[in-house]
A and B are shown apart, each in its own frame.
Chain A
């Protein structure tokens, strides 16, 4: 098995990992608050993909039991998806809240540069 194949087999994990890394880069390097928020969202998305892919088994379908052809044997684990739904909701709430905080901050400080918003320190 070549490394290409490994990457292909674990492509979801690789993608999730990549998204988290990009997000972390944005959080740690960019000074614009909106970009940092985008970074946080990227991390969230990466983690969600990671969670979904944990439950995903190749070739199996969603466990919708009203569909007669789906049995426990050929369905994937639904719990991670339920978790991800919750996590997405939480992520949306946090994003909305932080966007409103950022708008207010901008009105107050007239800047979005995080390194300039440090009235409280030490």
Chain B
């Protein structure tokens, strides 16, 4: 059986608390532990994928401690979970590689929190229990708060403070929601709740739904409650920002929709509301990014916009739309991985405060990273036949077929806005007029490698049609796992 799937969570947890001990032996060892852990998790998730493929792609559950659902905590693993797991471990691996010698005097604490963050996200993606989900959410948040404040300068403390303030409100809302739903169904297992949700009085159900929606919307960076996002992204160390943008928000979006689709069996009114949130998030994010001078802040607003796009896609509720949303999640994780890491790599080699203008003409000194960054920008904008285009096609066609022509127009409009600021950025880095900044030309192998690997992933997704066709099937299956409630229940509870 696949009970070893629990190692996905257990091993990182163990490794995280092992780090202080390892640090006592040798100061240099802790920085390699995240690489080992993420590599192990990558192998494990590939193994799970093979297992799943061998079993007709039917999702399976892992019972923890042998308790039969709905009594114990169970893990639910299907294609969607594995896609997200692979994303987490792959991006985590890349970022761990990049992190070596990046964060100034990174101590063992840093790596511990880093692994804890990854563990929390991993747990979020595979857990089948609502309260367990809350716990993972809190683990993620608390390690995120501390990692944000890690640099301990004014900006990072300020960002961390705002994050804690809003994040605590989020956890309060989630907790109230879970309490109410527990009170009315007397269970915490997602499948079991879903089984009983229709017996809950409408007001209680809607109250609990709105509480969870608000709490998770904060974590999933939706518009009116995402004030903390740009600050946190700007102030935290770049590897952490990359994790936030590439992984954490994807997992929280997954949880957001798992709760709406599966727990509450949300109907069209809810989905329209969520789609509206997505549209506003997209527009505000992209428009706010237009005049940013700080690179990380610009990328942060762009992330917000992309989150909006993903939310629009998934809330269209058609299998094609959800598949497109998942596809866009993968794409965005890779693109933002390249953008954050690549630009950070560029910034470290110039003197400056992370302003876009500091990078003027850097392409002459760092041609490879500049080229890859521009390439990923072009892919992000959805220029065919690169991978961003296919995801956008799926999203647009499904949104259009759900009858929202205006929203399609708005998405396209937002993409135009996105193109403006991203291309301006390309224009700056390829500017050849005169270079004012001094470059410290040091090629660091561990920084180039992750960026190049990410770029290869884009090419794999873009130009290998056979792969794409198979991949689309997987995406559709994954979408089905998210939207098909009855199969979820029957898999967890049996028959």
Contacts and interface: CB of A to CB of B under 8 A. Distances in A.
A83 interface: yes
A79 B169 contact: no
B175 A87 contact: yes
A50 B135 CA distance: 18
Nearest to B186: A77
A47 B158 contact: no
Given A47-B176, A54-B183, A120 B168 contact: no
Contacts of A80: 179, 182
B84 interface: no
A70 interface: no
A118 B158 contact: yes
By DSSP majority rule, is chain A's interface helix, strand, loop, or mixed? helix
B155 interface: yes
A25 B131 CA distance: 28
B164 A47 contact: no
Interface string A87-122: 100100110011001101100110000100111101
B172 A47 contact: yes
Nearest to B158: A117
A78 B164 CA distance: 30
A17 B268 CA distance: 31
Contacts of A117: 158, 161
B153 interface: yes
Contact of B157 (A51, A105, A118, A122): A105
B411 interface: no
B205 to A, nearest CB: 15
B179 A109 contact: no
Contacts of A51: 175, 179
A102 B230 CA distance: 20
A77 B167 CA distance: 29
Contacts of B155: 119-120
B154 A108 contact: yes
Contacts of A55: 183
For A33, A104, A105, A120, the residue with the greatest tally of chain B CB atoms inside 10 Å of its CB is A120
A36 B179 CA distance: 24
A98 B161 contact: yes
Nearest to B232: A120
Interface string B38-65: 0000000000000000000000000000
Contacts of A86: 131, 135
A27 B165 contact: yes
Contacts of A119: 154-155, 158
Contacts of A43: 168-169, 172
A120 B230 contact: yes
A107 to B, nearest CB: 9
B179 A105 contact: no
Interface string A18-39: 0010000001000001001000
Contacts of A98: 145, 161, 164-165, 168
A40 B145 CA distance: 16
B27 interface: no
Nearest to B152: A104
B168 A104 contact: no
Contact of B145 (A27, A36, A97, A105): A97
Given A83-B179, A86-B135, A98-B164, 14 more contacts: A27-B169, A40-B165, A54-B180, A83-B131, A83-B175, A94-B168, A98-B161, A101-B145, A105-B158, A109-B154, A119-B158, A120-B155, A120-B158, A120-B159
28 contacts: A40-B165, A43-B168, A47-B172, A47-B176, A51-B175, A54-B179, A79-B182, A79-B188, A80-B182, A83-B175, A83-B178, A90-B135, A90-B142, A94-B138, A94-B142, A94-B164, A94-B168, A97-B164, A98-B145, A101-B149, A105-B154, A105-B157, A105-B158, A114-B161, A119-B155, A119-B158, A120-B159, A120-B234
Interface of B: 131, 135, 138, 142, 145-146, 149, 152-155, 157-161, 164-165, 167-169, 171-172, 175-176, 178-180, 182-183, 186, 188, 230-231, 234-235, 288, 297
